[in-house]
Amino acid sequence: MESQLRFVSFKSHLVKAYCIVLVLFLLPLARAEQGSSADQEAVSPDTRPRAHLNRQAEEQTEQPSDVKTKLIPLPIYATLPNEGSTYGFMPVFLKVRSSNERTEGIYAPSISYNETIGATGTARFFLYPTDHQTLDIVASLSSKVNRGGYVLWQNIPRGSNVWTDEAIYRISRNVFFRYFGIGPDTPSSAESSYTRVFSHGQWRRGYNVTDDFNIGALVNVGRDVVQNIGVPNLPLAPEVFPYAPGMAGSTTVEEAVSFRYDSRVNHDYSLVGFYSEFQVGGVQGIADSPSYLKMQFDTRVLMQETDWMNAGFRALWRYVNSPNVPFYEQSSLGGALVMRGFTEDRFIDQGAWTAEFEERIRVFQTHIYGVTTDWRIDPFIAVGQVYGQDASIASHPQVTGGLGFRAWVRPNVLGRVDVATAGPGQGLETYVELGYPF
The structural domains of the chain, with segments of one domain joined by +, span 3-434
Burial of 302 (0-12, 13-18, 19+ CB in 10 A): buried
Q: Model pTM greater than 0.85?
A: no
For residues 331-353, one letter each, b for 16 or more C-beta atoms within 10 angstroms of the residue's C-beta and e for the rest, the string is bbbbbbbbbbbbbbbbbbbbbbb
* Of 265, 259, 61, the residue nearest 159 (C-alpha): 265
Q: Which pLDDT score is estimated for 318?
A: 97
Q: How confident is the prediction along the chain (438 residues), in pLDDT tens digits per residue? A: 444 334 333 344 334 444 444 444 454 444 444 443 333 333 343 444 444 444 444 444 445 467 788 787 878 777 777 787 889 998 988 787 777 667 788 898 999 999 999 999 999 998 988 888 999 999 999 999 999 999 999 999 989 999 999 999 999 999 999 999 999 999 999 999 999 999 999 999 999 999 999 999 999 999 999 999 999 999 999 999 999 999 999 999 999 999 999 999 888 889 999 999 999 999 999 999 999 999 999 999 999 999 999 999 999 999 999 999 999 999 999 999 999 999 999 999 999 999 999 999 999 998 765 567 899 999 999 999 999 987 789 999 999 999 999 988 777 778 888 999 997 777 888 887 878 999
Q: Which class in CATH covers the domain with range 3-434?
A: mainly beta
Compute the chain's Rg from CA coordinates: 21
* The amino acid at 46: D
Q: Which pLDDT score is estimated for 11?
A: 41
Would you say 141 and 118 are in contact if contact means Cβ atoms under 8 Å apart?
no
* Of 117, 247, 224, the residue nearest 176 (C-alpha): 117
Residues 242 and 260: their CA atoms lie apart, in Å, by 39
Contacts of 290 by beta carbon, 8 Å cutoff, 6+ apart: 322, 324, 325
Q: Which pLDDT score is estimated for 369?
A: 53
* The amino acid at 335: G
Q: Which pLDDT score is estimated for 13?
A: 39
Q: Which pLDDT score is estimated for 222?
A: 97
Q: Which pLDDT score is estimated for 34?
A: 41
Contacts of 396 by beta carbon, 8 Å cutoff, 6+ apart: 184, 185, 385, 387
